[in-house]
Each structure stands twice: as C-alpha cells, then as structure tokens.
Chains A and B, each alone.
Chain A
Amino acid sequence: MEDSGYSRTRRTLFSSARLLSVLNLDGPLLVGLSLLALYGLAILYSASGQSIDTIVRTVIRLALGTAAMLALTHASPNLLRRLAPWLYLLGVVLLVVVELTGVIGKGAQRWLNLGLFKFQPSEIMKLAVPMLAAWYLHDRPLPPDWGSLGVLAVIIFLPAGLVAIQPDLGTAALISASGALLVLMAGLSLRVVSALLVGMAGAAVLGWNFLHDYQRARVLTFLNPQTDPLGAGYHIIQSQIALGSGGVFGKGWMNGSQAQLEFLPERSTDFIFAVVGEEFGLIGLIGLLALYLFIVARSVWLATQTNDTFSRLLSLCLALTFFVYVFINAGMVSGLLPVVGVPLPLVSYGGTSVVTLLAGFGILMGLYSHRKLVGS
C-alpha cells in the first residue's frame, strides 16, 4: 500500500509536471499566484462586507486573466516582438479615443465602454510600453546610446502623457516606471540616472503648477494628514488607524472595526492592504509580502534564464514592475508615499488590472519556456 501510494503520488506529480510543460507554465510561479489570488479573495470577502457578488465578479476577472495568461504562454518571443508595435499603436489610438469620447467615471475619463464591460485602454499600455521598448532595444547594442534614449523617452512618455491628462496620475506613473525600469535594466549609466533624478526633482517643482487641485491636495495631505482630517487626510488617517489597531496578530477575519464599520474608505479597492493589516495584523502582512516577494523573485529568476535581449528585458521589467505596484500601494496605505490610487495587484477589487497582470505573467512564462537552451 505504501509503495503503491508513493508511486501514485509520483505519477500524479509527473503528469502534473508534464501538463505544466505542455501548457508552458511555471509551477512555482503558478502556485505563488494561486495562493495570492486565494488570499486576496478571502480578504476581499471580508472587506466587501461579505459580498458574494464581489467575489463572483472577481473570480470572473481572474478567469479572464488566466485565459489571457494561458494564451500568451504560447506566444514566442518572435511573435511578441512582431506584435509589440501594433499593440502599442492600438493602445495609443484607444487612449486618444478615450480622451475624445470617454465615458466619465469618477470625474476622470479613463473608461471605454465596450457594452458588456468597461475597458481601460491605459491597461494595454502597461504591457505595450515595455514591449515596444524591449523591441526597440533588441537589435541595438547595450547600454543604449543617447539617440536610443531619446527614442525610448518618446515611446514611454507619449502614452504616459496621454494617461496623465485623463487625469490618472497613478497609472501614468506606473507606465513611466515600467519603461524607466526597462531602460535601467538595459544598462543606463548610473551617472545618467542620478542626473535624471535631479532633473525630475526640478520637473516636480515645475509640474506642481500643472497639477489639478485634488492632486495637489493629495500631496499636501500626504505631507501632513492632520491638516484635513475629514477631507483629503481622512484616507490616510483611517488607514493608519486600521493598520496600527491591527497590531501584530490582527483583530481576526471579518472583525476589523475600521473596515467593517466603513471608517476605512475604499476598503475593497485601493486600501485593501489596510484591511489585511487590521484583520490579520503584522503577521498577515508579512505573509502577504512574502508571497509577493516569492512571485517577484521567481519571475526575476525566470527572466535571468532567457537569453535574448527582448525576452530578458521584457520579463525582468514585468517582474520588477509588479513589485513596484506592490510597493507603491503598500507605501501609500502605510503612509510612506502619497495617495496615488494604485491598486494592490491581484488583491484589490475591480478594474481590468487583474487581466493585464495575469497576461503579463503569461508573457513571462512564455518567454521562459521559449528560451533557446544555449550549450545543450
């Protein structure tokens, strides 16, 4: 019995591995993503006030994202490279269309109503920008020279600018960040990086004049939330109360007073990280961060195994951008960063970001499984 049980397990594992390899999926990454999705659903159930409807909608989005992931794992680096300019072009056109005819949602024009569901074209750019940048650098020697950097700047800031005027500063910043990360990974000299940082600081001062009032308010209240406890500072104060009152072990699932009694605004979307901290405490947050780190580390490892420039740059960029999402959201909720409206990847409710993110992981796994095995 022992032996047959053992061999059955072996057989199951073996056939699972074969299935994964046929599907071009990476086992550890898939496990990490699945655990994260489950953790996210558990938290979302509590944060949404035990709304089954919310869970169903999220599961549908996860299914859509998984479908996109499964499809993209089969795309070869060559196919993705050929698609890159067209995807980028499509994204830019859609952004312009949104700008012209976009449906007004939450005071900002971000959505394209496709009848069945609303679609955010800016989500496409989160993938299209690094793809096009990697496409552009694929044939060129690294580190990129000044001419290439100029072209890359256009590739990155054209869509980022279009998103920023929607206005959706958070997504614009994320798009810029993913492009910038890619350029950084391509070997941009650190001297140039420091020069750029100084330049950005100067631009920030200038840019202040172009910010909308609510954007300025967000920055100001980030610097001192107590100045406006019932207005713009409310989010920050309440999320810190939620985190702090959660303590080390948390108040228990569905027992966080800040979240359950609706003191915490946007508790199932942008501020769901605070719900984790309130109900599961520091332990729960460390667990969540560990899952994220595992996914990032595994993705980076997968990226290092590819061996053409496009694959390496794109997959590394996707892995690092994922971390940036996590850090910006966690930093915002815990008061390290200003409130910029970035969802916690794969946990926050709503939007099309689940689909985009899983599609990104599909690309990552596909690039890994289509790697040329050098020397073998």
Chain B
Amino acid sequence: MSSRVRIKDQWTEQRIFSQRTVGAMLVIGLLVLALLARLSYLQVLRHDYYVELSQGNRVRLDPIPASRGLILDRSGKVLADNEPTYQLELIREQVPDLNNTLKRLAALGLIDPEELEDTRRVIFSRRSFDSVPVRLRLTDDEIGRFAVHRFEFPGVDLATRQTRHYPYGALGVHALGYVSAISEQDLERIDRATYAGTTLIGKLGVESAFEPQLHGHNGFRQILVNAQGRSVQRQGAYAPVLHSQPPTAGEDLVLSIDLPTQQAAEDGLGDHRGAVVAIDPSNGDVLALASEPGFDPVEFARGISRSEYAALSDNIDKPLLNRALRGTYPSGSTIKPVIALAALTYHLVDPNKPEFCAGVFHLPGSSLLFREGKTGRHGWLDLTHAIAKSCDVYFYGLAATVGAERIAAFMSPFGYGELTGIDISGEKPGLLPSPEWKKKAFKRPQDQVWFPGETVNFGVGQGYLLVTPLQLAHVASVLAERGKSFRPRLVTGIRDTAGMLHSVAPIANAPIEGVSGADWDIALNGMVGAASYGTAAAISKGASYVIAGKTGTAQVFTVSRSERLTQKVAERLKDHAWFIAYAPAEAPRIAVAVLVENGGFGASAAAPIARKVMDAYLLRQSTPNAAETAVPESQAAD
C-alpha cells in the first residue's frame, strides 16, 4: 500500500512532463530525419532507376510488321507477293450480348455453329478489351454479307492481316519454298525481338534461304497502357509524347527462274512423279527447277490444318519431297559421255577403233555375263556411236579397262557425289562410289571388297552410284561448256528498299583440267548423235536447233514390302527414265536434266519433256530481262 502513501507532487510531475516532452520532440525529429533520408534515397539517388521502371510500366511497344519482300522471276514477273486477308474480330467489352451476337454471326454463316463454344472460350480467355479473331480468311462473299449487317454487330469488325500470296499457285513451289507460322524450332534460331509482330517465316526454298533479306525490319509504335494493359490515350492531365518507328520492308529477290520454262517443265511432267532442272551453262542460272507432284504453298501461309498436312505428308507420291534436290537415283546411261571422256583422257581407248557388240559382255577371268539392255545387239561401233546408241557392251569393256578408282577420280570434278552448292538448302550429295569408299562404308570385311563386276556396272551408271536431278543438270552444263561450270543459283539479284538492284555475281567452279579439245569433241559428238540418229533421235524431230543429249534408265533396286502389297506395284517396279541434254549444241544456252520416276525408257518418257523445256526457253523471240533493264544495276560487293 505504499502507493497510497505517495501523494501527487506537482513539481515532480511538471519536471517529468517537460523532460518527456523534450524527449518526444527529439524522437520525432530523428524519425523525420530517417524518413527524409529514405525519401532522398528514393527520389534523388535512385531517381533515374525508378524513372526507367515507371517508363517500363506505362509504355509498351506495339510492333508493326514489315511487309515481306517480293520474289520475281528473271523477267520481273511476280512469283510471290503479299495480300491482305480479312478476318472478323470481336472486342468483348463492346459487345452488348455476347451469346446473342455469336448466334447471329453463326446464323449469317460467318462462324461455324459447331465451334460456338470454342469461340466463346477463346474470347473469355483474353482480356475484355482485346480484339479477338473469331473467324479467319473471309471470302469476298462473306465480307459483303458482314458489311451489310455491320451496324447490327457493335464490337465486331473486319480486320486485315498480310499474308503471302503466290500468283501462280503451286508453280515452282519446290524452288520458291513457302512461308508458314513460326514454329518452336524457328524460335530457337531467330532473334525473337526482331520477329516480334511477324507471323510468317520462310520454310524451304528461296523463302527460307533468303529469309533475312525477305523479312525486313519490323517497326514499332509506343503505346501508353494502364496497369491492366489496356491502351489509353492520356495519363491524367497530359498526353505524353510517344515514339514510333516505321517498318522497313524486306528486299525483293530476282530469281534466275524463267517462268515459261518452269511452266513447260511442270506441264511436261504432268501427272508423272519426277523432276526437271534447267541451267544456263554460261552462268549457273537455274532456269527451271520442278519437282512433281508439288503442293499449294498458300495452304501453309494461311495456316495448314492437321488433316491437310497429314494428307500431304502421308501421300504415297510424296508431294513434299523436293525430288530435284533430294531425290537420289542411279544415273543410268547418262554417265556414258563422262566414262568415255575418262577413257580418252587416260588414253585407254582408240576412239576410232570399232568394237563388236554381240549383246553380251564376258568379264575376263569371270563367268559372269553382262547383257545389253533393251537395245539388243549393236554390231560394230566406234566410241561416238557407242555413246549415241548407248551400247552397254562397249561401256562394260571400257569401264573394266579404265578401272573403278580412275573412273571415280575423273568423275568427281563433274560434281558427282558432291553438293552443287545451289543457294537454297536441303540438297543431297548423292553417292560417287569407289573401292576406297566401299572399304569405309561397310563393316563386314567380305562386304568391303570391290568386285570387278561392280566396275562393269559402274560403266553404265548402275550399282552404288546415286545422283540427283540437280547434279545431272549440272553435269550437262559442264559437258556443254567443255569443263567450265558455275555454282547453280536461283537468286540473281536483290532489290533493296530504295529500288536499287544489286546483282549477285555468278560463282565459277574450278574448270576440269586435262581433257583435250579433241576428246571433248568425240564425247559431245556422241551426245549430238544420240539426239539425232541415236537412242533419242525422236527428240530432234522438227527442232530448229541442234540438241546434244543422253538417255538413261535407272534400275529400281528396292521395292518395299508395303508397296509390294499395293495395286501400284507393277508401275512402281518400272525403271526410272533419265534424259540429260544441252542446246544449241554449238553454242549452249540451256542444259537440262529430266527424271521421270518409273517412266521406263529414258528416250520415250524423259526426252520429250526436255525438248519442251528447251523449246520454251530457246524458241522465244526474245528473252527480255525486264527486272534487270528496268532498274539501275549495281554490282554486289561479293
């Protein structure tokens, strides 16, 4: 009870009170200082940092996609351009009654009634102020139908989007390639920042190989957004200054493709599976590059459905396979002029000495018999006639004389077994066999042995040798130019955004050395003979120019079990037909290789197509190169 004893002491109380008041004011002062220190730190020292953060908060970059460069043929005809497509977009918060709106759109036939629920879900998965596409690729008729009823659909509107357009449809699709939605794999190799806003990317062909030039540079527009990400016009009292940068369109490509020649190649192949490659031997320009069947590139550009893709990829005729670059076949007798050159160059044959063809060849030291092909027995022939008549027996002997190693060494500079280096990707090298190759390629010692019979088969282009149509077109151009050649190319010029055309200089290959002019004459005379009195004599009927050519027939070695069970067995067991040619023989302007899968005999199946292609290119009154003459030209740096 001591507290009861204590009495209130005014003076003590006053003293305590004063002390505590002073103490409290001191503490207040300290706390205010702490606060000021903190505020100074945030507002003075870290000001710049926070300004940046607040900028990042409120300003978003809205990309403006660059329009993709055009692709033109050698005369300036547009092979690929851009086209707006119309789509229906809906902004949820502006639609008074969403369910009713969707039902009425379905009633107009603008959206699929069965996808109503999906569409609703997509709309609700986005923010209420986002413009959501509810229907892509409207037809003209549908655009008209919507336009009439537009006033009944507040919050629904037409929007345009650029898509790729190929005026000639599937023509040249294996050279041009196509564009398609950017895939996961694409994202790994491109710079995502530069592709923000881009929806399509080149796949295959020129579209893919020249993607950086065609793509251009996307622009951007700064937009002011609030915390919900909604674009707003102003903040508080003032509208801030927002920057934008216009996009730079992609560069246009001028191709070496000659549209009429390409058309002739594809028409010539018709419904056959096969490939045609035509090259200008004087510079490597690819005048036509066809592979049939093809496909419609627009399907990819507008967004291919799963079933559409399956229909293409599962098709037994493999329309997605670029046979010109990736189809590998035995060369057949098209090899004979090169074998002849090898024998001449190694001085292992007397070209004028006739040999007798009895329709069968006995390999010395062996019991094996090598039979003549379809042409029966030829009797006595010299080298030129052996090429023209495509005498297998003559070349069995020649190959056996020269030997596999020397044949392979001689053929290699012609481009056999190697990539031609064409400026689009996907090319296959084929296979140039040799005893050395066989040692490396096989594991079991008994398989590594190169048999003399294999050399004999080599002489007529059968066996392990594999070539692509592009390679044989290149070989034809090497023959046409007597050893000189250029790297095949599709793109001859790039037109920049200012309209300046920068031509791409042709790249010359190392010429073939050591073959005398007389030897070239003998081999090439054989080819002229083939196209005039030989196996392909029919091709020259009515031709106003002299053709040098060589037929070939590639045996179909393997027939898969599944194919054996189909009805097409007989057709797919037939040999592949080859024809290589160049013309005019005295001053070649075009070299062609034609392959017709299961076409049978080269002379009947492949040679007429080559004639059509050469006619299309050579018989035109003039071959104007509009793209090159219309615009100023400047040489590219490389």
**Residues 237-264 of chain A, each 1 if its beta carbon lies under 8 Å from chain B, else 0:** 0001111111110001111111111110
The majority secondary structure among interface residues of chain B is helix
In A64-109, the 8 Å CB interface with B consists of: none
In the bound complex, CA of A60 to CA of B9 (Å): 46
- C-beta contact mask, B1-28 vs A, less than 8 Å → 1, else 0? 0110011110011001110110011001
CB of A239, distance to nearest CB on chain B (Å): 10
Q: Which segment of B50-58, B316-324, B616-624 sits at the interface?
A: B50-58
Answer whether residue B232 sits at the interface, using C-beta atoms and an 8 A cutoff. yes
> How long is the Cα–Cα vector from A206 to B226 in the complex, in angstroms?
42
* B47 and A245 form a contact (CB under 8 A): yes
Instruction: Say whether chain A's binding surface is mostly helix, strand, loop, or mixed.
Output: helix
- The answer to the question of B358 belonging to the interface, with a C-beta cut-off of 8 Å to chain A, is no
Q: Evaluate contact between A240 and B3: CB separation under 8 angstroms.
A: no
Verify B9–A185 contact, CB threshold 8 A. no
User: Does A338 have its Cβ within 8 Å of any Cβ on chain B?
Assistant: no
Q: Is A228 an interface residue (CB 8 A)?
A: no
Q: Which chain B residues in 228-285 approach chain A with CB under 8 Å?
A: 228, 232, 235-238, 240
B49 within 8 A of partner (CB): yes
Say whether B40 faces chain A, with CB atoms less than 8 Å apart: yes
Report yes or no: A141 in contact with B24, Cβ–Cβ below 8 A: no
Shortest Cβ gap from B400 to chain A (Å):
80
Closest A residue to B25 by beta carbon equals A300
Closest to A261 in B: B226
Distance from A60 Cβ to chain B, minimum over Cβ atoms (Å): 25
CB distance from A194 to the nearest CB of B (A): 14
Asked whether B39 lies within 8 Å of A323 as measured between CB atoms, the reply is no
**Chain A residues, CB < 8 A from B238:** 252, 254-255
Per-residue interface assignment for chain B, residues 28 to 50, with 1 indicating a CB less than 8 Å from any chain A CB and 0 otherwise: 10011011101110111011011
Cα(A46)–Cα(B36), bound, Å: 24
Q: A245-B53, A286-B36 are in contact. Are A240 and B42 (CB under 8 A)?
A: yes
Enumerate B203-228 residues with CB–CB distance to A below 8 Å: 224-228
Q: Does A309 contact B (CB under 8 A)?
A: yes
Residues in chain A near residue B50, CB distance under 8 A = 240-241, 243-245
B46 to chain A, nearest CB (A): 5
A175 interface residue (CB < 8 Å to B): no
Give the docked Cα–Cα distance between A329 and B38 (Å).
14
Determine whether A57 belongs to the interface, using a CB cutoff of 8 Å to chain B.
no
| A343 close to B (CB within 8 Å) | no
- Cβ contact within 8 Å between B46 and A244: yes
Asked if A247 and B236 make an inter-chain contact with CB atoms under 8 angstroms apart, the answer reads no
Within A147-162, which residues are at the interface with B (CB < 8 Å)? 147-148
Residues of A within 8 A of B31 (CB): 323, 327
A297 to B57, CA, bound (A): 40
Q: In the complex, which residues of chain B have a beta carbon less than 8 angstroms from the beta carbon of A27?
A: none
**Smallest Cβ distance from A332 to chain B, in angstroms?**
11
- Write out the residue numbers on chain B whose beta carbons fall within 8 Å of the beta carbon of A241: 50, 53-54, 57
Cross-chain contact A143 with B226 (CB below 8 angstroms): no
Asked if B35 and A331 make an inter-chain contact with CB atoms under 8 angstroms apart, the answer reads yes
Return the contact of B47 from the options A139, A247, A296, A331 (Cβ within 8 A).
A247
Instruction: Determine if B42 and A260 form an interchain contact, defined as CB atoms under 8 angstroms apart.
Output: no
Contact (A334, B39) CB under 8 Å given A148-B3, A244-B47, A245-B53? yes
In the complex, are the beta carbons of A263 and B57 less than 8 A apart?
yes
Q: Which residues of B contact A244 (CB under 8 A)?
A: 42-43, 46-47, 49-51, 53-54
Are B235 and A336 in touch, CB under 8 angstroms? no
Q: Is the CB of B235 within 8 A of A289?
A: no
Q: Which residues of chain B have C-beta atoms less than 8 A from A140's C-beta?
A: 3, 8
A290-309: contact bitstring with B at CB < 8 Å (1 yes, 0 no)? 00010011001001100001
Asked if B3 and A141 sit within 8 Å, CB to CB, the answer is yes
Does B227 contact A263, Cβ atoms closer than 8 Å? yes
Chain A residues closer than 8 Å to B43, beta-carbon distance: 243-244, 246-248, 277, 281-282, 285
Q: Which of A141, A296, A312, A316: most chain B Cβ within 10 A?
A: A141
Of all chain B residues, which has the CB nearest A320? B24
Cα A181 to Cα B50 in complex, Å, equals 37
Which partner residue on chain B sits nearest A138 by CB separation? B8
Chain B residues whose CB sits within 8 angstroms of the CB of A147 once the complex forms: 3
Query: Which A-chain residue is minimally distant from B10 (CB atoms)?
Result: A307
Nearest to B51 among chain A residues (CB) is A245
**Residues of B close to A323: CB separation below 8 A:** 28, 31
Q: Closest chain A residue to B12 by CB distance?
A: A142
Contact B228 A262 (CB under 8 A): yes
Does A300 lie within 8 Å of B21, measured CB to CB? yes
10 closest A-B pairs by beta carbon, nearest first, are A244-B50, A254-B236, A260-B236, A245-B54, A187-B16, A261-B226, A254-B237, A260-B235, A262-B227, A141-B6
Q: List 13 A-B contacts (CB under 8 A).
A: A141-B9, A142-B12, A185-B17, A242-B54, A244-B51, A245-B50, A252-B238, A261-B232, A285-B43, A289-B36, A300-B21, A312-B17, A323-B28
